[in-house]
Each structure stands twice: as structure tokens, then as C-alpha cells.
């Protein structure tokens, strides 16, 4: 059984995988990680291996005490990955993007795959059918777009994401929803269409916190897979432990 720890800026996802299948997933505060992991280990003593992915402020040294509980892999630029990393600056490639590309190798081998992660940012990552990771793009996420309109103007309100009723906003709120939501939808559909001009057989994955909200409104054919990053982390762990 594998333990997966995915740490964000304020929250962490903790998951258990057995035989490649997700068995349990919890979301906890970063301050509660170590106590929660210790409880998990006591409850599931068969856990032998664990992986930590952190895009937050925690450092590798913060996890040293977990080495006493199991073999611990801290994902980073030196980690052995299941694809050919052709990124020009491999040491700057985010651990979340490493995991997503690894998941595509596991779930869709020998495919041209575009992975779109709709979270704080929208990231686009492309890997060829020859297992070559080329790179992608990074743009502002849904909530970031709403927040920027509020933060950088004097009078625009901060709104929660909402599906627009029409492309033409008939109020300030309606105009914001139209601009933000249709803007990000057209961006994603446009990026997919551009990739398909060169790779007609493209497989498209949409994941991340806003995946479900966006997937119902996109024109393009996609796979909406909310646990894709966790599956990628588990595959990296398997790849490095040969289990």
C-alpha cells in the first residue's frame, strides 16, 4: 500500500493506493499533516512507501521525521521520472506538472496527450506518443481572474464563479461572469484546437479544482479526471520502488 501526500499552499491531499487503485482520500490543513500521517500509519501498518509533493512552503528537511515510518520519496527535479523530460529548464518544472505528465504515461501510454490542470493557474502540458515531454503553458486560473478584476480596479466586486446565462452581460456582475468564464473556456478550447492542427489524434485530459465546472461547458471532447495528479504521484512512487 502506498501513501501519497500532495501539499498545496494551505491544504494537503493525503491518499492511499493499493494495486494502483485509489482507496482513500482526505484533505487536511498543512499544520495537521504529521499527526494525520502518523495516525494513518498506525491504522494501515502495511504502508511501506510514501511520496510527498509540495508546491507550498514546506521543505525536504521538514519531512525527515517521516523517514522512520516508511521509505519516503520527496518529489523534486532529481527524481527519476517515467518520461523523457525535454523541458529547456527541467529544474524549474513544477512537481505538480511532473505528476500530471506521469499520470498520462500511466493511463494513456503511447498517446499524444495534452493535460490541462485548472486550478490556481491553468497549466497546459504536452507529451508525445514517443514519451517525450515537450512543455506547455501557464495562465491565470478561474479564481485568479475574478480576484484580479476586484484587486486591480476601484469598483468591481469580487464574485464567486458562476455559469453565465449569456455571452452578453446585462449587468456588471453578468459582464464579469461572461468575461471570466467565457474567456477561460475560449482559451482552453482554442489551445486544444491549436494542438489538434498538428496532432489530430490528441488525447485531452482536464483535471484540477475547477475541472468539473469547466468540463460541462467546453466544446472540446475531453476526459475529466479529478484525481489525475494523485494517480501520477502514485505512479512515480511505483516507478522508483518497482512495486
Q: Which residues contact 235 (CB under 8 A, 6 or more apart)?
A: 20, 82, 102, 103, 105, 106
Q: Is 8 annotated to bind ligand?
A: yes
Q: Which residue in the list 39, 88, 96, 193 is annotated as catalytic? A: 96
3-class secondary structure per residue, 188-211? HHHHHHHHHHHCCCCEEEEECCCH
Q: Is 136 annotated to bind ligand?
A: no
Q: Is 117 annotated to bind ligand?
A: yes
Q: Is 97 annotated to bind ligand?
A: yes
Q: Is 125 annotated to bind ligand?
A: no
Could you give the CA distance from residue 117 to residue 138 in angstroms, rounded to a whole number? 10
Could you give the CA distance from residue 206 to residue 228 in angstroms, rounded to a whole number? 9
Closest CA to 100 of 124, 79, 80, 130: 124
Whether 39 sits among the annotated catalytic residues: the reply is no
Q: Is 116 annotated to bind ligand?
A: no
Q: Is 9 annotated to bind ligand?
A: yes
Q: Is 190 annotated to bind ligand?
A: no
Q: Is 15 annotated to bind ligand?
A: no
Q: Is 134 annotated to bind ligand?
A: no
Could you give the CA distance from residue 115 to residue 71 in angstroms, rounded to a whole number? 29
Question: Three cell numbers at 170?
Answer: 446585462
Q: Is 10 annotated to bind ligand?
A: yes
Instruction: Count CB atoms within 10 A of the CB of residue 46.
Output: 8
Active site residues: 96
- Known binding-site residues equal 6-13, 87, 94-97, 117, 120, 172
Annotated binding site for ATP: 6-13, 120
Binding residues for K(+): 117
Annotated binding site for substrate: 87, 94-97, 172
Amino acid at each position: 500500500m502506498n501513501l501519497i501526500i500532495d501539499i498545496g499552499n494551505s491544504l494537503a491531499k493525503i491518499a492511499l493506493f493499493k494495486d494502483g487503485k485509489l482507496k482513500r482520500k482526505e484533505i487536511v490543513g498543512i499544520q495537521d499533516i504529521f499527526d494525520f500521517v502518523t495516525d494513518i500509519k498506525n491504522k494501515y501498518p502495511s504502508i511501506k512507501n510514501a511520496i510527498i509533493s509540495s508546491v507550498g512552503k514546506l521543505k525536504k528537511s521538514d519531512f525527515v521525521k517521516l523517514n522512520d515510518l516508511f521509505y519516503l520519496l520527496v518529489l523534486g527535479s532529481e527524481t527519476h521520472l517515467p518520461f523523457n523530460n525535454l523541458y529547456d529548464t527541467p529544474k524549474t518544472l513544477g512537481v505538480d506538472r511532473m505528476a500530471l505528465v506521469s499520470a498520462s504515461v500511466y493511463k494513456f501510454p503511447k498517446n499524444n496527450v495534452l493535460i490541462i490542470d485548472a486550478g490556481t493557474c491553468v497549466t497546459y502540458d504536452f507529451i508525445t506518443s514517443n514519451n517525450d515531454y515537450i512543455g506547455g503553458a501557464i495562465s491565470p486560473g478561474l479564481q485568479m481572474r475574478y480576484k484580479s478584476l476586484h484587486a486591480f480596479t476601484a469598483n468591481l466586486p469580487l464574485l464567486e464563479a458562476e455559469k453565465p446565462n449569456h455571452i452578453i452581460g446585462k449587468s456588471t456582475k453578468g459582464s464579469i461572469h461572461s468575461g471570466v468564464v467565457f474567456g477561460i473556456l475560449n482559451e482552453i478550447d482554442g489551445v486544444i484546437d491549436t494542438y489538434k492542427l498538428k496532432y489530430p489524434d490528441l488525447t485531452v485530459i482536464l483535471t484540477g479544482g475547477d475541472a468539473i465546472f469547466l468540463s460541462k461547458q467546453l466544446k472540446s471532447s475531453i476526459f475529466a479526471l479529478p484525481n489525475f495528479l494523485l494517480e501520477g504521484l502514485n505512479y512515480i512512487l511505483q516507478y522508483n520502488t518497482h512495486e
